[in-house]
Amino acid sequence: MEKRQNAHRNISTIILSAGLSTRMKQPKLVLPWGKDTILGTVISAFKDAEVGDIVVVTGGSRELVEQEATKHNAKTVFNPKYENGEMVDSLKAGLAKIMDGNSTATFVALADHPFISSHDIRGMIDLYNKGKAKLIVPSYSMRRAHPWLIDRELWPDVMKIEPPDTMREFVNAHSNLIAYYIVEMSKILEDLDTPEDYERLRPQ
C-alpha cells in the first residue's frame, strides 16, 4: 500500500540518546542490531510510522551518536547537562528544539529500547487522535513502558521540572490524563544496559 504523504506529520519524536553507556562499557547505541544499529532501529520504527520531525538528543559519545542519527536523516540536539544523568534535561533540550514548530504532540522514546514497533507507534497515534488523551503510555501486564506520547498542552509542565524531580513524577502527577495503549510483546519492557543484556536480547 502506498504511504500517505503527510501521515502523522503533526506528531514529532524525541529520542533520548545522551547516556554514558557506563554499564555497557562501550557506546551501546551504535552497536549492531540485526541489519542496523540499536539507535538506527529505533529511528527507523518511527520513520516507518510516518511521524514528523525526529530529534535525537545527544550527550555521551556525541560524535558517534550524531553520525548515526544523521545517517538516518534525523535531527540532533546536544544536552550540555548530559553528565548528570537526568533524563528530564535531555527531554527539555528536545522540546526546546521543536517548541517553535507545528507539532501537536511528541513521542518521548528511549534510544536503547529497540523493541518498539511501527505498528504500536501507529496504534498509539490512533488512540491519541480518537480520544484526544493528553498522555498516551504503552502498557504490558499493567507495567508502564516507553515511548510516551505527550500532548503539546503538557510541554510547559515538562519544562518546569527540575531535579531531583523526574519524569516519573510528571507521569504520576498527570495520571488522570493517561490513556494506556496495551502492548502484546513483553520485550517492550526490556533495557539494554549491560553486555549480558545485549547478548541475550540482540537479534541472532
Cβ count within 10 A of residue 60? 19
What nine digits make up the cell of 166? 523526574
Q: Are 98 and 27 in contact (CB under 8 A)?
A: no
pLDDT digits (tens, 9 = 90+) for 70-95: 999 999 999 999 999 899 999 999 99
CA count, 13 A, side-chain hemisphere, 118: 12
3 within a domain of the structure (yes/no)? no
pLDDT digits (tens, 9 = 90+) for 15-25: 999 999 999 99
1 within a domain of the structure (yes/no)? no
Q: Which neighbouring-strand residues pair with 138?
A: 181
6 within a domain of the structure (yes/no)? no
pLDDT digits (tens, 9 = 90+) for 110-123: 999 999 999 999 99
Helix or strand run (H / E) with residue 103? none
Q: Are 194 and 177 in contact (CB under 8 A)?
A: no
5 within a domain of the structure (yes/no)? no
Q: Residue 164 is part of which domain span?
A: 11-201
Q: What is the CATH number of the domain that holds 92?
A: 3.90.550.10
197 within a domain of the structure (yes/no)? yes
Q: How far is the CA of 162 from the CAs of 68, 89, 170, 200, in angstroms?
A: 30, 8, 11, 36
113 within a domain of the structure (yes/no)? yes
204: confidence class by pLDDT, cuts 50, 70, 90? confident
Which pLDDT does position 15 carry in this prediction?
A: 98
Number of domains in the chain: 1
Closest residue by Cα to residue 14 from 60, 67, 55, 69:
55
pLDDT at 50 over 70: yes
